[in-house]
Structure 1
Amino acid sequence: MAYLFPRLLPKAASELRDEYLNRSVEYLRERAGLSHPAMFYAATGGIRLPQQRLAALREAVLTCAVERGYPTKPGRRQAAGFDIEVATILARDSGIIPAEAVAGDLWACLSLVVLPDVAAWRFQDFHRDRVLGTDVTRHVFGRLWWRAHLLYEEEGGREDLYASLSVFGEAAFDQIYARRTSIGGSPHLVRAIVRVWQGLDVPSDMERALLRDFLKRVLRLNAFMSFDSLPPEVLDQELEVLFRESFAATAGTPVAA
């Protein structure tokens, strides 16, 4: 069932963000809630999310943080584990649909009303992009929903999604989603990229340059090939060829399978 999630008016979001700057996680936990005078819902498209489901979402995300040391600042491994776990929750259990997920004010409501303490725990600087939803691909929770949405397959299990989410870091996903009108807008293509990347032995110091070159090649090929119409095995073969061309251009030697 498609639910309408609560949203937060931009002016109120900015005021809350300013108020919460430099506040402790413990302070923000006391301010967390399920309602706010500036909350609103889209006029059409579904049923308003029941408050008990919003409360359950907060509890699930908070539990993920607590398991990784909340309220103490997380280390890199803890933060990465939190991101993967919450991405899975948002994709599988939240009920957020793509038409809602593009709304920055939805994510602002989650990070500033429902989960301000967790948002501050994950990103201590409370940067505008992380909490206001001005750039969904950088939002503390919005970026996780979009990653999982691109990788989640109904026939796959929880572990399949976990494995896929761990292949690329945030910077790599930023490169993919920045091309959302061509590459990042196709879950079929993104899943294939992840599958093929997993099968390659890529030196860590080459990953960023290799991915950048590869995505340029995909964009060029996209001009006359419909990736979404290709069966997975055929698409994988096409992408493997492009990856090897990119590796040869970047390193001067073929990549090992």
Structure 2
Amino acid sequence: MAIALLPRLKPIGVDTALGRFHETGVNTRSTLNILSDYSDVLSFAPSGGYKTGKAAVDIGHGLKQVAQSAGFPRIGSQSAKAKFDQEAAIYLAQAPELFSGEALRNDVWAFIATVIIPDLVMWRFPGENRSRFAGGNRNTFQRLWMRGKGLDRGCDHADRWGLVKALPEDAMVQIFERPSIASSQRLATAVAECWVSASIAAEKGTMEDIMRRAMKILRIRSEIIDFAYLDTEQLEKAITTIFKDAMSVRSAS
């Protein structure tokens, strides 16, 4: 099957668009004009598939449909935006246009956020924040794709997207803004599964503190244990122990 090569926006293109937004407001027409004026800020992979802007447009259309169910374009509550994050993560994880290595490109996500749906970026994160437009683990949509792919339990699981829906924002950030965890689906899933188990046993309102303690312990132990080489049972046991230790520190304090 031929691979769809999505448009890529260079960092200078993001900066130029953000500068233009001050004059025109945040809208797709403004960024399309920038691409017309400065064609060198846009690129595609030189080979390996067929170049298409339509695939990026289709992804943007799908994300807007998800956002509309959460109240977009009206000013949304935090709970509405959290709902969007969950449903968008699930949508992006299953989007066929993102099954290739194109989804691993920061500049592809920069194009989607800055050119295709900048208004949706501003709805989700009001106020100009470059990191939400530029590619990387804080990009408005790239971060959600990472969550959906990283916490997918598999199509045969009875509650395939349970982890995506269960973890709050702070727990997601603790996992997916740490490359040492986010780069391994097995490790990310193990941490998320143990978070769910710990949240059942923990006192209400303590999980944010417990999660942060657990991540500190994990970072320390990763200096002597390569979690990537543990089998599934060993990994589950190791992460469970880390959460128990984090909870015991909380209890002792």
**TM-score past 0.5 threshold:** yes
- The residue that corresponds to 1:249 in the other structure is 249
CA distance in 2, matches of 1:155, 1:69: 29
Given residue 252 of structure 2, which amino acid in structure 1 is its aligned partner? G
**Secondary structure in 1 matching 2:97:** coil
> Post-superposition shift, 1:39?
2.0
CA distance in 2, matches of 1:54, 1:138: 19
Per mean C-alpha deviation after superposition, the further-off stretch among 239-248 and 47-56 is 47-56
Whether the 8 Å contact between 1:21 and 1:126 is mirrored in structure 2 is no
Given residue 177 of structure 1, which amino acid in structure 2 is its aligned partner? F
> Post-superposition shift, 1:97?
5.5
Whether the 8 Å contact between 2:17 and 2:30 is mirrored in structure 1 is no
- The residue that corresponds to 1:240 in the other structure is 240
Given residue 239 of structure 1, which amino acid in structure 2 is its aligned partner? I
- The residue that corresponds to 1:167 in the other structure is 166
Q: TM-score, normalised by structure 1?
A: 0.82
- The residue that corresponds to 2:139 in the other structure is 139
CA distance in 2, matches of 1:12, 1:226: 39
**Equivalences for residues 156-195 of structure 1 within 5 A:** 156=156, 159-161=159-161, 163-180=162-179, 182-195=180-193
Whether the 8 Å contact between 2:20 and 2:30 is mirrored in structure 1 is no
- The residue that corresponds to 1:70 in the other structure is 72
> Post-superposition shift, 1:101?
4.0
- The residue that corresponds to 2:152 in the other structure is 152
> Post-superposition shift, 1:156?
4.4
CA distance in 2, matches of 1:76, 1:158: 28
CA distance in 2, matches of 1:169, 1:23: 35
> Post-superposition shift, 1:204?
4.6
- The residue that corresponds to 2:45 in the other structure is 42
- Judging changes above 3 Å, is the alpha-carbon distance between structure 1 residues 184 and 9 closer, same or farther for their aligned structure 2 residues? closer
**Secondary structure in 2 matching 1:183:** helix
| Structure (1 or 2) with the greater helix fraction | 2
Per mean C-alpha deviation after superposition, the further-off stretch among 96-105 and 82-91 is 96-105
> Post-superposition shift, 1:16?
1.1
- The residue that corresponds to 2:7 in the other structure is 6
> Post-superposition shift, 1:248?
0.7
Whether the 8 Å contact between 1:6 and 1:40 is mirrored in structure 2 is yes
- The residue that corresponds to 1:197 in the other structure is 195
Deviations 1:110-160 (A, max 9, x none): 111111121122122131111122xx1211111111122221244445952
Percent same amino acid at aligned positions? 24
Given residue 232 of structure 1, which amino acid in structure 2 is its aligned partner? T
- The residue that corresponds to 1:215 in the other structure is 215
Deviations 1:33-54 (A, max 9, x none): 6x9333211234x314534333
Q: Structure 2 regions of 5+ residues with no counterpart? A: none
User: In structure 1, which of residues 127, 130, 133 is the aligned counterpart of residue 132 of structure 2?
Assistant: 130
CA distance in 1, matches of 2:104, 2:82: 23
CA distance in 2, matches of 1:195, 1:42: 37
Per mean C-alpha deviation after superposition, the further-off stretch among 182-191 and 100-109 is 100-109
CA distance in 2, matches of 1:79, 1:23: 25
User: In structure 2, which of residues 112, 115, 118 is the aligned counterpart of residue 116 of structure 1?
Assistant: 118
- Judging changes above 3 Å, is the alpha-carbon distance between structure 1 residues 23 and 73 closer, same or farther for their aligned structure 2 residues? farther
> How many residues are aligned here?
246
